[in-house]
Amino acid sequence: MPQATVERIIRTLAADDMQGRATGKPGSVKAAEFLAAEFQRIGLTPLPGLQNFMQTFPAYETRTAAAFVTINGAKVAPDKMLLISGQPHLNWTEADEPAPRVVTVGPQDNLMQQIRPLLDPRENTIVFIDPVQAAAFNRVVGYVKRGGLRPEKPAPFTTLLILAPPAATPLKFQVAATTTIRTVELRNVVGVLPGKDAARATEQVVFSGHYDHLGFLPAVAGDSIANGADDDASGTTAVVALAEYFKKKTTTPARWCLWPSRPRKSGLWRAPFLQAA
């Protein structure tokens, strides 16, 4: 691929009008459409079963707001709690069945190791976190509130994290909150270069890069766009360059899949969609 073409692709992907290519946002859609046009220009074919170079699939974004929590009659301050729920309208008390599982994280425990499975609730859980863990708790709060996408629709359960010593039993509580669950359509961009050796027709070689990035960040010198030239416009450009290089070769022994894939910034869970193909 000529140097001018490489520069054109990486500059296009990292341009301000791509708005940082945040997952599920208009900039990432624009980037996907640009990459599909490049595959069309090169002369690749879509993945079998697809009508074009776009492989779409759903992801889910949840945001919980308006949380009100009391423990044994005392209101919990908003900065001392974190609620993660797959229930759009939550009104939860100790009278509800089944009773929640209660977990205690002590001052010497590894907070993330303890709560990581609970960030995708599969049962109702209340977690009391020793105040010594305040710094780690605040990092978890920041991580969750930045939002993110998950591959499966949230289950109708709730995890409540409270930065406080364990409450006296019998535990009485009241929790009210509203959660918005939004379906977001994501896209892999997949191009196939068929091989020419019939004896190796079942082989596949996959080149992959993620074309999304972080979108907008707090402004530095008035600029809030995270352009993502190195992460990963450069890697995606390399995938396109490889596609063009191998397309021009007279021998391609296996079926080559050139795959600038999608949701790296939201978790490494794109592979099942290629495996299913």
pLDDT digits (tens, 9 = 90+) for 171-187: 999 999 999 999 989 88
Contacts of 53 (CB under 8 A, 6+ apart): 35, 36, 39, 40, 44, 46, 47, 189, 190, 191
What pLDDT shows up at residue 48? 87
Ranges of H-type helices in 116-253? 134-145, 234-248
> Does residue 155 or residue 263 have the better pLDDT?
155
Please check whether residue 47 is in contact with residue 277, taking contact to mean a CB–CB distance below 8 angstroms.
Answer: yes
- pLDDT recorded at residue 268: 46
pLDDT computed for residue 216 by the predictor: 87
> Nearest-CA neighbor of 31 among 255, 188, 153, 192?
188
pLDDT at 135 exceeding the cut of 80? yes
Residue 246: per-residue pLDDT: 87
Closest C-alpha among 6, 46, 27, 67 to residue 265: 27
Closest of 170, 43, 162, 22 to residue 94, by C-alpha: 170
pLDDT band at 276 (very low <50, low <70, confident <90, very high): very low
**pLDDT above 70: percentage of residues in the chain:** 92
pLDDT at 58 over 80: yes
Q: What percent of the chain is predicted at pLDDT more than 90?
A: 60
- What ranges make up the beta strands (E) of 106-199? 125-129, 149-150, 158-163, 173-189, 191-193
Q: Residue 31: is its pLDDT beyond 60?
A: yes
Task: Give which of 183, 182, 190 is closest to 206, Cα–Cα.
Answer: 190
Asked whether 13 and 21 are in contact (CB, 8 A), the reply is: yes
- Which residues lie below 8 Å from residue 146, measured CB to CB, with a gap of 6+? none
The pLDDT value given to residue 261 = 67
When the pLDDT of each residue in the chain is averaged and rounded to a whole number, the result is: 88
For residue 264, pLDDT over 60 is answered with no
